[in-house]
Structure 1
Amino acid sequence: MRLHGPALRLTIFVGETDQFHHHPVYTEIVHRAHKAGLAGATVLRGIEGYGASTHIHTTRILSLTEDLPLVIVIVDDAERIRAFLPQLDEIVDEGLVMIDEVDVIKYVGRRHERADRAHPGIAESG
């Protein structure tokens, strides 16, 4: 998949212990994004932060918490991102969901690179 030019960045802030049907919320979001064919999703684990609860979550040893902030970032074209939003309404009970307009400079998936290395000399069709 190639993505270039105007796109949307979907950023979702949740807690590490947030659950959806006995599964971590972040895992559910990533799996649904994959199933929806979105370009990619990345989960980033924060080392410290707070949200609506105003309780500070941190990795510092004296106040170590298991509920660290997580950020899921997904970038794709506007139509795909907007089509995915109803799924977030179902999954995210507590958190923050943001959309930003971005310009993608370069995005090339690795799958094609691996196929080219595995089968040198075979050109892709399509």
Structure 2
Amino acid sequence: MTTHLLQVTHRLFTTAMAPIERITLFKIPNEADRDRVLEQYKVMAKTAVKDGKPYILAAAAGASFPDPRNKGYNLSVKTTFTSLEDMKYYDSECEAHKALKAIAGPVKEDVLTTYYESIL
């Protein structure tokens, strides 16, 4: 019994949560608008801070390749966060993300976002 308890306790303290992967897809009809949004993603990646420090682990963004399976979503973004808390901060408080939304909001036709903790 004691050995089992030690194993469970060890797992609790050594199993860290995997990073949160966030995928965002945009439908932005105008190519010039897509370019402006992508430029703002470059700015956001350099300026997003929480408590004065960068907090986004990784970010990737680009125009989607033409393919009927993308259902018209033509700009793809993947953002990686250490925790769900950091992603929620990004959504609600991050000034760099607010600036990005100010540019993307008026020009997007649609947006789809999903996020997950990878099992790999």
Q: TM-score, normalised by structure 2?
A: 0.51
Q: State how far apart, in whole Å, the 2-side matches of 1:104 and 1:75 are.
A: 14
Alpha-carbon distance, 1:46 to partner: 1.8
Correspondence 1:78 to 2:100: no
1:99 maps to which residue?
114
Q: Deviations over 1:43-94 (max 9, x none)?
A: 13222258xxx8x6xxxxxxxxxxx922111111222222222425423221
Structure 1 outlier segments of 4+, above 3 Å: none
Of 90, 97, 115, 2:102 maps to: 90
Query: Match of 1:5, SS?
Result: coil
Q: State how far apart, in whole Å, the 2-side matches of 1:83 and 1:33 are.
A: 15
- For the 8 Å contact 1:26–1:72, the answer to whether it is kept is no
- Number of matched residues? 85
Query: Match of 1:17, SS?
Result: helix
* Residues 1:85 and 1:12: Cα distance change in structure 2 (over 3 Å): farther
Alpha-carbon distance, 1:4 to partner: 5.8
Partner AA of 2:76 in structure 1: V
- For the 8 Å contact 2:26–2:112, the answer to whether it is kept is yes
Alpha-carbon distance, 1:9 to partner: 1.2
Q: Which runs of 5+ in 2 are unaligned?
A: 1-15, 49-53, 93-97
Correspondence 1:31 to 2:49: no
Q: Deviations over 1:20-39 (max 9, x none)?
A: xxx71122123213311211
Query: Match of 1:99, SS?
Result: strand
Q: TM-score, normalised by structure 1?
A: 0.49
Which structure has more helix as a fraction of its residues?
Answer: 2
